[in-house]
Amino acid sequence: MGERYIVTGVAGFIGSHIAERLVSEGNKVIGIDSFTDYYSTKIKERNLRKLLDSTSFCLVKEDLLRVNFDRMLEGVKGIYHQAAQAGVRTSWGNDFKIYCDNNILATQRLLEAIKNTNIRLIYASSSSVYGDTEKIPMDENDRPMPVSPYGVTKLAGEHLCLLYHKNFGMDVVSLRYFTVYGPRQRPDMAFHKLIKAGLTNQEFVVYGDGSQTRDFTYIDDVVEANIRAFQKGKSGEVYNIGGGHRIDINSVIEKVSKLIGKNIKIKKIEKQKGDVKDTLSNTEKARNDFNYKPMFEIEEGLRLEAEWIRNNLDILIT
């Protein structure tokens, strides 16, 4: 007999993968998603196709700011809080309110709902909290200095989790993801855009000169990190979850061009505000506490993402 879990943002890239893993292991999952229009709802619906075929999965189409938690918390062992308004470049200006609502207020409301329970919460944070630091690799003890409004809201969510842990003894663990990729990756993310551009003979826009590097983390490694952090992560702690190596964007373009067998049209424009130069995770803490070891190399991960995009072009081309 499995356990009962809640996954927020279940129709998204990471949330849908976590929910599938939990169901595959014999658990029951309540998935919450508001289906915001940040990208096509057709993509989110397809992300859920496998889950909706399972009697162990229940979908709640509701905003976290309005959902009635009282009716769904009974018997729940844990919550994987993946819901968030994503996107560094779109977090400036008037849209900042959307980020505050979905990343800060929604997290605070969720914490309030479970503060008198024994439910363990895994909070999805981001490497964006570190900002444009010159210290590489990035360590959990480094001072966070986000350079985007998005990063500010994700850090605020972390701090809320810590506040509720300190004041109410809540069981919370925060995971700082480093650029997650793979099948179902959001269409606004670089790998998705690059592969789709190559497959459809479109232009791929590079912000800056392409020398910027990222620590890319394959989706299966992120899912495994969530499961292990739930089992053995220390309450009140923050952990880096990265691929453990970095690669520059120009090299990624070369790899994808080779993978799909054609040169991709490239247009380089000015670096965007909020983009950082380099990221690289120090994952020693996660390795020591719950044996986190990223398994996927970039070439294999890119192949699997390209395969998914090729098979889903019918909903990805707008």
The CATH number linked to 51 is: 3.40.50.720
- Chain centre distance of CA 172: 17
Asked if residue 32 is part of any domain, the answer here is yes
230 exposure class (CB count in 10 Å sphere: 0-12, 13-18, 19+): buried
The predicted structure's pLDDT at residue 187:
94
CB 199 within 8 A of CB 262: no
Q: DSSP states of 142-205 as a string?
A: SPP--SSHHHHHHHHHHHHHHHHHHHH---EEEEEE--EESTT--TTSHHHHHHHHHHHT-EEE
Residue pLDDT tens, the chain, 318 long: 699 999 999 999 999 999 999 999 999 999 999 998 888 899 999 999 999 999 999 999 999 999 999 889 999 999 999 999 988 878 888 889 999 999 999 999 999 999 999 999 999 999 999 998 889 999 999 999 999 999 999 999 999 999 999 999 999 999 999 999 999 999 999 999 999 999 999 999 999 899 999 999 999 999 999 999 999 999 999 999 999 889 999 999 999 999 999 999 999 998 877 778 899 999 999 999 999 999 999 999 999 999 999 999 999 986
Active site members: 150
Alpha carbons 191 and 199: distance in angstroms, whole number: 12
Instruction: Collect all residues with Cβ–Cβ distance below 8 Å to 245 and sequence separation of at least 6.
Output: 215, 280, 298
> Which candidate, 148, 56, 137, 145, places its Cα nearest to that of 103?
148
Locate 170 and state its tokens.
């809540």
- Number of structural domains (the chain) is 1
Query: For residue 292, which amino acid is it?
Result: Y
Q: Confirm whether pTM is higher than 0.95.
A: yes
Asked if residue 222 is part of any domain, the answer here is yes
Which residue is associated with the tokens 């299966």? 220
User: Distance of CA 123 to CAs 41, 66, 79, 83, 229, Å?
Assistant: 24, 19, 8, 9, 10
The predicted structure's pLDDT at residue 94:
87
State the residue range of the domain holding 32: 4-181+217-242+280-295
Query: For residue 173, which amino acid is it?
Result: V
Alpha carbons 158 and 177: distance in angstroms, whole number: 13
Asked if residue 97 is part of any domain, the answer here is yes
Asked if residue 71 is part of any domain, the answer here is yes
CB 199 within 8 A of CB 299: no
Alpha carbons 287 and 157: distance in angstroms, whole number: 24
Asked if residue 80 is part of any domain, the answer here is yes
The predicted structure's pLDDT at residue 1:
67
Asked if residue 265 is part of any domain, the answer here is no
Asked if residue 148 is part of any domain, the answer here is yes
Q: Which residues are 180's β-sheet partners?
A: 217
Asked if residue 269 is part of any domain, the answer here is no
- Chain centre distance of CA 108: 19
